[in-house]
Structure 1
Amino acid sequence: MKTFTLFALIVSSTFALGQGCIAAHTNQSICAMGPQEETSSGKTHGGPHDFMHKVSVEVDWRSFSSFRHYVGTVEQTQRAVLGTQIKNHQNIYNIAVNYDLNPRWSLNVSVPVLQGTRNQLYTPKGVYEIAGVGDIIVGAQSWLFRGPTEWGGNVAIGFGLKLPTGVSDATGTALLSNGTYGKAVADQSMQPGDGSWGFTLSSQAYKQTYFKTTAYFQGSWLFNPRDTNNVLTFRSRPLEKYMSVTDQYLFRAGLGRHVPKVRGLSATFGGRMEGIPVRDAFGKSNGFRRPGYIISLDPGITYQYGRSTLMVNAPWAIQRNRRASVPDLAVGGHGDAAFADYALVMGIAHHF
């Protein structure tokens, strides 16, 4: 007999990196919900009612290249014609550990690492190469119901504390205003951390539906109450002198199903929305930020072999929107942001 269970490690304490300059700075663990086959003992791995393995370790990698500039939802195609588009390539690695206290409660920690390059065409000009550990998040998650439930689903609530462990003023080699090359602070989108304490709230849920499919939902919001982090942006507008410390959010939903006649293989398809709000939920929202969102189609496959699970996701952007920031609204302007067409996300997890 086959069953469909939830496989989602440490989702309560991790976040997504937006595809381009609309960027959070840590990954979200998205080993998605996937149908799994029961073992000979009748138990499954990865669901909220599985207490066979207390410790799980996951390593994720996300890669994207942003180059399409948008103001609002309008692409600035002239940038490509003139050769003035910013090209931003990033690799985000994430190491996550989950410890089950009991079948409902778990503790988790997520350690992101950023590596990327950016060709900056405005002062200070240069090709910036940045790498470093990001802001570590520690948290806890609880399933509301002890599984397995009679209605074939469950809901989890999570909380995380974001530590300011990442560098927020990383520098690269650039052409300075005096005509010489030297070190200059990299763009906000390239910074491994934001220099602020914060916290996350998240939820995930799944429900068995018709035709042996399962519906899933994941949502998370990173709250950063701090206004700015006092890191200079080198921008000309006084209101954008310092980098803003931003909230970040991500929502995913869709359907998944075991692939017939292929043991351990499942496929998911849904949508995702991720971004940075114009104004934070708490505190002020001054300084420079690129608020906006990306809506993507989110296909993926998951393969489970024993205690290990491999996943591949490829979110493809179908709508991009660079919204006006607080400084934009104050002076009547509207900045732009570079977006990617798609991202490649791969991860492997193991239950010990």
Structure 2
Amino acid sequence: MFILVSIMGFHQLMAQGCVAIRHFSSCVGNTLENNLLGPGDIQVGSNYRYFKSFRHFRGTEEEPDRVSNETEVINHSHSWDFFLTYGISDRWYASITIPTVINTRSSLYEHGREERNTTFSRGLADIRAGVGFWLFDLEKNQNGNLALGLGVKLPTGNYNASDIFYNVGPNDGPQVRPVDQSIQPGDGGFGITLDFQFYRKIGEGFFVYGGGFYLLNPRETNGTRTFRETLSPILQNEAIMAVPDQFSVRAGISHLISSAISASLGARYEGVPVKDLIGGNAGFRRPGNVLSIDPGIAFIKDNFSLNLNVPFAVRRERPQSVTDLQTQEVTGEPRAGDAAFADYLINVGVSYRFSQNRVKVNPELMNQFKN
């Protein structure tokens, strides 16, 4: 997972909305200052993310009547990544990220369609650890460079978190069930993450940047029941939760405003694929993707860094899943599930570096990557 959040701590790549299955952020970012760790340097910090998903889509078409009829599903997601990155050498670094989440989900259909109720989950999510490497010498290639990373995701988060669901148990009473996949703290699978980030100077005070990750989840299903088959017999193929892959890529331009403040403007594309690259595709998942415009601003003073990014969605898609297509083939009727998406995310990151032998880099270059 490569520069795991400290490098990623600012310009984090994080999936948005219900299609995200659960909170996940890559180990990649675009804060060059945080990535230039000399031997023995330590970077610590935290990143907070919030979103509210409530706009329902099938394909790329929104269903506005869900909001007007007050039948929409509303997720509130709060997550905190606590990270530590260690400089192995001038070009190698290793990191670990410990994520925690607090989620709520309000809906009608999960509670007998009689009344709106809220389910809740919180706790440790899936821990990530990995290493990264800058391909070119940082002191000799200050106008551009590329870093690659490899990491693992551990199934430390609860993937069978439960709460009380109303009007669905015996005699239409309450019943304890696993919460929806979108607010489960973990996914139950060991994962492998491939990351990259790059930067390139394009003019005085201007740099282009980019980065991304792909999470491979070889495990097909995690054994947690969805209870979707109780909604309709044709949803038997969605009775167990899948362990899906996840991805995010972003790119943009960074510009220095003052000696301590910089701004950026970019785009990001992220989501959950219909099919995994490795392993099977059984079980229930909500595939989807979001294209967002991603403005940001950052402040760096000495070893302290603070930044804010607020990406807002301009295109949202919930494509047909494998189980949708299976059901469509069996019934002969069109089948396309929906998903709820957020309008925007709020990402706030803060970090502090304990320096030993700092890499000697032009201060002008460092200033460009305070976002």
TM-score (norm 2): 0.85
Deviation of 1:306 after TM superposition, in Å, equals: 1.3
1:52–1:212 distance in 2 versus 1, CA, 3 Å:
farther
- Whether 1:138 and 2:165 are equivalent positions in the alignment is no
- Whether 1:79 and 2:66 are equivalent positions in the alignment is yes
Deviation of 1:258 after TM superposition, in Å, equals: 0.6
Equivalent residues of 1:15, 1:250 under 8 A apart: no
Deviation of 1:19 after TM superposition, in Å, equals: 2.1
What is the one-letter code of the residue matched to 1:349? S
What is the one-letter code of the residue matched to 1:341? D
Which residue matches 1:155? 146
Equivalent residues of 1:61, 1:92 under 8 A apart: yes
Please give the residue correspondences for 1:86-97 in structure 2 after superposition, counting only pairs within 5 Å. Answer: 86-97=73-84
Which residue matches 1:169? 160
Deviation of 1:58 after TM superposition, in Å, equals: 1.8
1:349 to 343, 348, 351: 351
Deviation of 1:330 after TM superposition, in Å, equals: 1.3
Q: Distance in 2 between matches of 1:351 and 1:86?
A: 41
1:270–1:15 distance in 2 versus 1, CA, 3 Å:
closer
What is the one-letter code of the residue matched to 1:307? N
Which residue matches 2:332? none
2:290 to 291, 294, 297: 294
Aligned-residue sequence identity (percent) comes to 36
- Whether 1:212 and 2:200 are equivalent positions in the alignment is no
Q: Distance in 1 between matches of 2:260 and 2:4?
A: 13
Structure 2 residue ranges without an equivalent (≥5): 230-234, 329-334, 355-371
Which residue matches 1:231? 224
Equivalent residues of 2:40, 2:88 under 8 A apart: no
Which residue matches 2:119? 128
Which residue matches 1:251? 249
Which residue matches 1:324? 320
Aligned-partner SS, 1:79: helix
Aligned-partner SS, 2:211: strand
Deviation of 1:114 after TM superposition, in Å, equals: 1.0
1:137–1:97 distance in 2 versus 1, CA, 3 Å:
same
- Whether 1:181 and 2:174 are equivalent positions in the alignment is yes
What is the one-letter code of the residue matched to 2:109? Y
What is the number of residues matched between the two proteins?
333
Residues 199-225 of structure 1: per-residue CA shift (max 9 Å, x gap): 100000111112420110101000001
Deviation of 1:298 after TM superposition, in Å, equals: 0.3
Which residue matches 1:282? 278
Equivalent residues of 1:276, 1:291 under 8 A apart: yes
Identify the structure with the greater strand proportion.
1
- Whether 1:9 and 2:6 are equivalent positions in the alignment is yes
Aligned-partner SS, 1:9: helix
Q: Distance in 2 between matches of 1:234 and 1:283?
A: 24
Q: Distance in 2 between matches of 1:7 and 1:277?
A: 22
- Whether 1:201 and 2:194 are equivalent positions in the alignment is yes
Q: Distance in 2 between matches of 1:289 and 1:302?
A: 36
Equivalent residues of 2:100, 2:122 under 8 A apart: yes
Moved more, 176-185 or 136-145: 176-185
TM-score (norm 1): 0.90
Aligned-partner SS, 1:22: helix
Aligned-partner SS, 2:34: coil
- Whether 1:103 and 2:90 are equivalent positions in the alignment is yes
Identify the structure with the greater helix proportion.
2
Which residue matches 1:38? none
Aligned-partner SS, 2:6: coil
Deviation of 1:177 after TM superposition, in Å, equals: 2.7
1:257–1:311 distance in 2 versus 1, CA, 3 Å:
same
